[in-house]
Amino acid sequence: MAALDASVRKGEKVAENDVVQVTELLMNELLKLDAVVADGDVKAQRRMQVSEKQAFTSSRVAVQ
């Protein structure tokens, strides 16, 4: 995922299949995060992780 991110930041072309794979992996992680029941600090950390994954996914979809 880091390599894909670096390529996109450099403006390099990325294979659509790679973007689809990473997007699916991130969506699976979001589903796992949604299943976490938490309070306080853990809830804030979960919210931060969800936001980061959504932002990453959105920026990669825009590249396609």
Flag whether pLDDT at 63 surpasses 60.
no
Q: What is the pLDDT of residue 34?
A: 78
pTM for the predicted model, two decimal places: 0.57
**Domains of the chain, earliest start first:** 2-63 (1.20.58.120)
Task: List, for residues 5-56, the tens digit of each pLDDT value.
Answer: 777 778 788 788 887 888 888 888 888 877 877 788 888 888 888 888 788 7
Q: What is the pLDDT of residue 62?
A: 61
Write the secondary structure of the chain as one string of H (helix), E (strand) and C (coil): CHHHHHHHHCCCCCCHHHHHHHHHHHHHHHHHHHCCCCCHHHHHHHHHHHHHHHHHHHHHHHHC
Q: What is the pLDDT of residue 1?
A: 66
